Amino acid sequence: MNIHNLTREAVLKSLVTSERGLSESEASKRLHEYGANEIKEVRKKSLYQKLFAQFTHFLAILLWIAAALCFLSEYLHPGEGLLSLGIAIIGVILINAVFTFVQEYRAEKAIEALKKLLPFNVKVLREGKAKEVRSEKVVPGDLILLSEGDKVPADARLIESNRLMVNNAPLTGESDAKPGSHDASTGDYLESPNIVFAGTLVVSGIGMAVAFATGMSTEFGKIAHLTGGVQERLSPLQKEIIRVTKIVAVIAITTGIFFFALGFFIGRGFWHNFLFAVGIIIANVPEGLLPTVTLSLAMGSQRMAKKKALIKTLTSVETLGSVTVICTDKTGTLTQNKMEVQKIWTIRSDQRSAVSGQQSDIHLMKIASLCNNATYTDGKYKGDPTEVAILKAAREARGDIKAERIFEIPFDSERKRMSTVCKIPLYPPFSKGELSGIPLFGKEGEGEILQEKFFVLTKGALEMVLPLCDKIFEGDNLISLNDENKKTLMRAYHSMMDEGLRVIAFAYKSVGAIHESPLQSDIAELESNLIFTGLMGLEDPPRPEVPEAIKKCKEAGIKVIMITGDAGRTAVSIAKQIGLVKGNPVVIEGREMHGMSDDNLREKLSSEEILFARMTPEHKMRIVSILEDEGERVAVTGDGVNDAPALKKANIGIAMGITGTDVAREAADMVLLDDNFASIVNAIEEGRGIFENIRKFISYIFASNIPEAVPYIAYIIFNIPLPLTIMQILAVDLGTDMFPALALGTEKPSPGVMKQPPRSPDERLLNFRVLRRAYLFLGPIEALAGLFGFFYVLNSGGWQWGTILPSYNVLYMQATTACLAGIIVSQIGNVFACRSSIESVFSLGFFSNRLVVLGIVAEIILSAFIIYHPWGNKIFGTAKLELNVWFILIPFGIGLLMAEEVRKFYVRRVDNDGIR
């Protein structure tokens, strides 16, 4: 069936539907027959493939080689305990693989759950009524209502169109929008202007189309089936974690080889040296780092969603923490988007909120009602908030007004106005003006319609409507628009703007008798020689939480720039109300941008307080580009189709979840589920907190590497019994450390995180300050605790220096257990120390993070099993410790915490660039 060749009637007949759309029962039947309208992901990696991948990455291969060497060594030189070590290493690989697999699976499921928070809804006509349905519920034969900003849900044939432009880039890659037409077409089906394809974007205009292919039957679905699923790229942070892991692994191997050679130099045997080298490698390799970071990011995304900020990619979480500039819309983001008409002005009506019986007031309300796409059905207003407020004011003043809309010239960001051509009935008695030929509307009435006339009705920004007018009402009289009444008009306009009102201008004209065809008229001709009717001032109060959010941004070193389509005076008034500006800010309006050079704009952007008014999306794109050229990390908000380039260009594109178009949400990195500016600030705070939490985790894990490595260095250099066995290292890395480390990933952002300047995007996660704190400050204290416990038990048992004890000796097992216990106790103190690199744990509260407390409880229970249970003793080569040993070890945990408190105090009071 060449559906593009068919006429409108033939299309409806072939798809067994009508101009009223499908019935609900028929739609349900077809949904069962054709299936859900969704693109199924093909060639997705199976769970088995994902699990297998955990055994073949870099670290796993490294450990496989170590295990193989252990088994080979046991075969060549049995009795050295290397068989147990080889089995233990395989255990590490298995545990790490399962842990990583589970964490990544949970992270994937978390992201999928977040995506479900933002359903893709579609407007369809069913049983003669427009309604919204989920996109997956669209079936062949459904009549889809398309308007600017919509994403087309299925392959469909246009049966109505009005200045419809569709961007096929998601399907063809060509970014130029093409006009749509509802007329029958010949030629190539894929190039036909009357076909719109699933996944493409409506750039402007309106239309109605009949769905004829859904789901995998669409052109988009066929391509997806051929190409398979696209593999998701690693985020920069994940790449850095892999990089860090490889660097640490290389350091560990290099260190192992160095001390292996050193052992030979001082006369140690091959097997002692080999055991040492393997121990050093395992002690330094951070096995669980990558999956834990991935999980932390996913958990952070979920927390952001609870704060009404939906993160679409994990990459965005990282970027949020480094944002330096927020370019935000005004309406609905800084304000409540609860529009209400506060003032109505017509010349000589003196800015009143009541509507008189003067012709100008009557006509203004008729234009407000008929040049409007909002609707009132079932006792509810639906549509754009501005249009809803205007329609509500008109209905309350004049009731429902009957007319037939013939033609619409839609609003767009360039024209900043919309016009409709309506056929309006005229009832008797005619007014004096109408009898004398003045193009006035007829009065509402009943009975026989004596005449019907076409009228062009226009509303929009004053600077775009006023130049199209040559007459104005003065009370009941129609007079020429001159300089004097223009001055009166502008005074009223400025007065309204100074009160923070959004001001809309209204105008109209008659376009002749009914036999004329306005559809064929030139648009410029239609919107010329209009009669100016009046102004409406709409109030949109600021959101109550925004002033505090603005204050937070200023404290955090984040500059907020308002970019609005409203007039400059309105923008300044609102900006002062929310605390965005205090003095006289630099205000740049759209017309100034055209002649402004980039250097001049760059200079203006350096101003402390700057606002942009009457901006188009193209202006917004230019502002974002220049800010990024200056090295700023920019977050920008947008809701319209033409905002998509700026959303893509920005470091973080933020779309509106309530008022935003599908196109904007598709282009954005983050979606505000409540359209609230405060949610952006909360998300930035959470983003900073997540980066901070990963550092806390790294500091905590890396600090324990030192007390695990130092015993091996002491063993090889000082000819003492090995203070810590490899199995005990594994007990720390994959056992006692794991629960508190995960709990650190759930830490709330610290109180001071939004009082610090933004993080540089070049700042490494693992930098010298982090390594210095972990390896040169926290780690040595833990190493001292472990070795002190080891030698305390040995000396208490009568050990003499130089005596080598066998691994099954009870005194030796108690001594190594004391070393293990010293590390565990120190790590308990360390988990509190790592909760913040600056803030005191006493100000944070010891019990403010319940998961940390639960992690410590789990660590203590696991330690008790390792030290006091026969199975734990057998697996890890431990022996029971007397109570007095714990008494001499616990002060080390407290001492580490107190030493860190002193360091933090020094950092806060003396040197912010100190050890952090």
Which CATH number fits the domain that encloses residue 70? 2.70.150.10
With contact defined as beta carbons under 8 Å apart, do 470 and 481 qualify?
yes
784 and 868 belong to one structural domain: yes
> What local confidence, expressed as pLDDT, does residue 354 receive?
41
With contact defined as beta carbons under 8 Å apart, do 819 and 884 qualify?
no
With contact defined as beta carbons under 8 Å apart, do 13 and 21 qualify?
no
714 CB neighbour count, 10 Å cutoff = 19
pLDDT digits (tens, 9 = 90+) for 426-442: 765 544 444 333 455 54
Q: Is 432 exposed, middle or buried (0-12, 13-18, 19+ CB in 10 A)?
A: exposed
Of 486, 509, 536, the residue that ends a domain is 536
Q: Which residues contact 852 (CB under 8 A, 6 or more apart)?
A: 740, 743, 744, 747, 831, 832, 835
Rounded distance between C-alpha atoms, residue 671 and residue 679, angstroms: 10
What value does the mean pLDDT take over residues 494-499?
91
Burial of 502-527, coded b for 16+ CB within 10 Å and e otherwise, reads: bbbbbbbbbbeeeeeebeebeeeebb
Quick check: helix, strand or coil at residue 532?
strand
Catalytic residue list: 329
Rounded distance between C-alpha atoms, residue 211 and residue 133, angstroms: 14
Strands 477-480 and 469-474: antiparallel
576 and 697 belong to one structural domain: no
Rounded distance between C-alpha atoms, residue 385 and residue 397, angstroms: 18
Of 613, 644, 675, the residue that ends a domain is 675
623 and 752 belong to one structural domain: no
With contact defined as beta carbons under 8 Å apart, do 821 and 885 qualify?
yes
pLDDT digits (tens, 9 = 90+) for 887-910: 999 999 999 999 999 998 888 876
Number of residues that this document lists for the chain: 916
What value does the mean pLDDT take over residues 182-188?
81
What single letter denotes the amino acid at residue 847? F
pLDDT digits (tens, 9 = 90+) for 374-430: 888 878 888 778 889 999 999 988 888 888 888 888 887 778 899 998 888 776 554
Whether 199 maps to a domain, the answer reads yes
Question: Percentage of the chain surpassing pLDDT 70?
Answer: 84
Rounded distance between C-alpha atoms, residue 827 and residue 834, angstroms: 10
15 and 147 belong to one structural domain: yes
β-strand partners of 213: 155
Q: Which residues contact 167 (CB under 8 A, 6 or more apart)?
A: 175, 176, 177, 178, 200, 201, 202, 203, 663
> What local confidence, expressed as pLDDT, does residue 117 receive?
56
Strands 559-563 and 325-328: parallel
Domain count, the chain: 4
Whether 225 maps to a domain, the answer reads no
780 and 737 belong to one structural domain: yes
Whether 236 maps to a domain, the answer reads no
pLDDT digits (tens, 9 = 90+) for 252-274: 788 778 878 877 777 777 777 77
Whether 241 maps to a domain, the answer reads no
718 and 861 belong to one structural domain: yes
Which phi-psi region, left, alpha or beta, contains residue 648 (left: φ > 0; alpha: ψ -120 to 50)? Answer: alpha
Whether 256 maps to a domain, the answer reads no
pLDDT digits (tens, 9 = 90+) for 366-385: 999 999 988 888 788 887 78
pLDDT digits (tens, 9 = 90+) for 40-76: 755 556 777 778 887 887 767 777 887 887 787 777 7
pLDDT band at 355 (very low <50, low <70, confident <90, very high): very low
863 and 889 belong to one structural domain: yes
Q: Locate tokens 């105090």: which residue?
A: 905
Quick check: helix, strand or coil at residue 582?
coil
607 and 504 belong to one structural domain: no
Q: What is the pTM of this model?
A: 0.72
504 and 615 belong to one structural domain: no
Whether 680 maps to a domain, the answer reads no
Which CATH number fits the domain that encloses residue 526? 3.40.1110.10
Rounded distance between C-alpha atoms, residue 201 and residue 224, angstroms: 18
pLDDT digits (tens, 9 = 90+) for 788-804: 999 999 999 988 887 88
Whether 478 maps to a domain, the answer reads yes
CA atoms within 13 A on the CB side of 610: 17
358 and 319 belong to one structural domain: no
pLDDT band at 166 (very low <50, low <70, confident <90, very high): confident
Q: Locate tokens 């100074």: which residue?
A: 498
Q: Locate tokens 């590390």: which residue?
A: 823
Whether 159 maps to a domain, the answer reads yes
pLDDT band at 115 (very low <50, low <70, confident <90, very high): low
Of 536, 552, 567, the residue that ends a domain is 536
H helices of 722-800, in order, are 726-731, 738-744, 768-773, 779-796
What value does the mean pLDDT take over residues 317-338?
85
> What local confidence, expressed as pLDDT, does residue 406 receive?
84
Rounded distance between C-alpha atoms, residue 446 and residue 452, angstroms: 14
Rounded distance between C-alpha atoms, residue 833 and residue 843, angstroms: 12
Where in the sequence is the domain holding 89, given as residue range(s)? 1-220
Rounded distance between C-alpha atoms, residue 307 and residue 384, angstroms: 25
574 and 485 belong to one structural domain: no
> What local confidence, expressed as pLDDT, does residue 519 receive?
46
Rounded distance between C-alpha atoms, residue 154 and residue 26, angstroms: 18
485 and 370 belong to one structural domain: yes
Q: Locate tokens 């779309």: which residue?
A: 655
Q: Is 846 exposed, middle or buried (0-12, 13-18, 19+ CB in 10 A)?
A: exposed
Cα dihedral value 461, 462, 463, 464, nearest 10: 60
Q: Is the pLDDT of residue 488 over 60?
A: yes
Strands 121-126 and 129-134: antiparallel
> What local confidence, expressed as pLDDT, does residue 853 receive?
93
Quick check: helix, strand or coil at residue 508?
strand
